[in-house]
Chains A and B, each alone.
Chain A
Amino acid sequence: MCTVCGCEDKHGHPDSVAGNGALAVDKSVSRTLTLEKNILEKNNVYASQNRSFCYSKQILSLNFVSSPGAGKTSLLVDTINSLKSDFSINVIEGDQHTSNDADKIRATGASAVQINTGKGCHLEAHSVGHAIKDLQPAQQSLLFIENVGNLVCPAEFDLGELAKVLILSVTEGEDKPLKYPHMFRAASLLIINKIDLLPYVDFDMAQCVRFARQVNPSIDVICLSVKTREGVLPWFEWMTTQQTKMNREPD
């Protein structure tokens, strides 16, 4: 999977060419090199490899993003328990520390790999590629990537997923789409979770959806409660629609 760098992060230091007479440059003159290269090109190359692999095996890969505590892991556990008799499901868990979430996922019987990012605030496509290799997902399986809880940084890093699924809970406030526009712009689906708590919090659902569509007019929205399971069926149907779309439009 890792054909770009051969998994060696250490690239040769340019000093090694300085002593080569044939290659020596005139140090008295500076020259301009045009690169026009995306800063995240390397990540994007790994992401493309991940995406091609998933397309080739018709694996539905979803990148779950949210602030900490919005209910990503609970949603995954419920989803796996509901779908595991029909699909092979693999999960990549991203957290700064601990393997708590991967342990919760494994308790459902699904395979999980935990990536600890240490001080890193997001997952990157390279480590996700390695995790995919470890998991060896089967043809037509589901691959769920649970990103680090953070509504800022994961927006910029393509992991090779088919879609980003953003989970927002009603305890967080309806103005989050305007406060974190990049993440809402990058997501294909907004899941508004914990709707069982609506009677106890001041959360304006209609306003939240308006704000989300102000930032991203094409975002899909599903409101549900993992706790009471109200609204989970449309979420499963949304995944089925994505699978159909993926099989119709190969990358």
Chain B
Amino acid sequence: MHELSLCENIVASIEEAALKEHFNAVVVVHLGIGKLSCVEPEALRFCFDTAIQGTIAESTQLVIEIFPGLAQCNHCGANLEIENYYDACSHCESFDLKILGGEQMQIESLEVM
């Protein structure tokens, strides 16, 4: 369950930002999670509720934006959207794909008071 580790990292980043930016409460945390990242959004939500207890982020709303997996086929050059690393090119069926996006797991922004 590495999602709990990830949530603890998110809380640590929020606490760091609070010291630097001088806010007292976080209303919303916006995350950007790529489809190809090793993160299960539902597990992340579940762990987030536990990780924020007793921290500045307590009662913060979690908003997760999912980004598609993007790849370019090294064989035929087509640009495509993929769901998994083991997907084949939808044009030529090659598995030799260059990943262009969708691996991120980012804290995009915070709405703070």
Q: Is the interface of B mostly helix, strand, loop or mixed?
A: mixed
A212 to B1, CA, bound (A): 24
Contact assessment for B111 and A30 in the assembled complex, using a CB-CB cutoff below 8 Å = yes
Q: Which residues does chain B contribute within 8 Å of A12, judged by CB atoms?
A: 19
Report if A25-B86 is in contact (Cβ < 8 Å); known contacts: A33-B110, A37-B107.
no
**Interface residue total, chain B, C-beta cutoff 8 A:** 41
Question: Which residue of B10, B15, B56, B113 contacts A27 across the interface (Cβ within 8 Å)?
Answer: B113
Q: Is B105 an interface residue (CB 8 A)?
A: yes
Residue from A27, A30, A42, A124 with most neighbouring chain B CB atoms (10 Å): A30
Q: Do the beta carbons of B9 and A217 come within 8 Å of each other?
A: no
Q: Which of A13-21, A70-78, A106-114, A162-170 lies at the interface with chain B? A: A13-21
Taking CB atoms, residues of chain B closer than 8 Å to A156 are: 2, 6, 37-39
Contact A214 B38 (CB under 8 A): no
CB neighbours (8 Å) of A30 from chain B are: 27, 111-113
Looking at chain A, what size class is its interface with the partner chain? 35 or more
B18 at the interface (CB under 8 A from A): yes
Q: Does residue A1 face the partner (Cβ distance < 8 Å to B)?
A: no
Q: Give the one of A33, A177, A178 with max B CB within 10 A.
A: A33
Q: In the assembly, what is the distance between CA of A29 and CA of B24, in Å?
A: 12
Of the candidates A14, A40, A155, the one whose C-beta lies within 8 Å of that of B6 is: A40
* Given A27-B24, A27-B113, A39-B106: A177 and B6 interface contact (C-beta under 8 Å): no
B12 within 8 A of A: yes
**Contact status A215-B17, CB under 8 Å:** no
| C-alpha spacing A214/B19, complex, angstroms | 46
Determine how close the nearest CB of chain B comes to the CB of A43; give it in whole angstroms: 7
Question: A217 contacts which chain B residues (CB < 8 A)?
Answer: 95-97
Contact B2 A14 (CB under 8 A): no
Of B17, B21, B88, B104, most buried by chain A (CB within 10 Å of CB) is: B21
Are A35 and B107 closer than 8 Å at their CB atoms? Answer: yes
B98: nearest residue on chain A (CB-CB)? Answer: A217
Residue of B whose beta carbon sits closest to that of A9? B12
Interchain nearest-CB distance for A3 vs B (Å) = 16
A168 CB → nearest B CB, Å: 16
User: Would you call A11 and B15 a contact (CB within 8 A)?
Assistant: yes
B13 contacts partner chain A, Cβ-Cβ < 8 Å = yes
Contact A14 B18 (CB under 8 A): yes
Q: What are 30 A-B residue pairs whose CB atoms fall within 8 Å in the complex?
A: A11-B16, A12-B19, A14-B15, A14-B18, A14-B24, A17-B19, A23-B22, A25-B23, A27-B24, A33-B23, A33-B109, A33-B110, A34-B109, A35-B17, A35-B107, A36-B108, A37-B13, A37-B106, A39-B6, A40-B9, A41-B9, A42-B13, A124-B5, A156-B2, A156-B6, A157-B5, A181-B85, A181-B86, A216-B85, A217-B97
Q: A25-B24, A156-B37 are in contact. List 7 more A-B contacts (CB 8 A).
A: A17-B18, A35-B109, A39-B105, A40-B9, A121-B1, A181-B86, A214-B95
Which residues of B are interface residues toward A (Cβ below 8 A)?
A: 1-2, 5-6, 9-10, 12-13, 15-19, 21-25, 27, 31, 37-39, 56, 84-86, 88, 95-97, 104-113
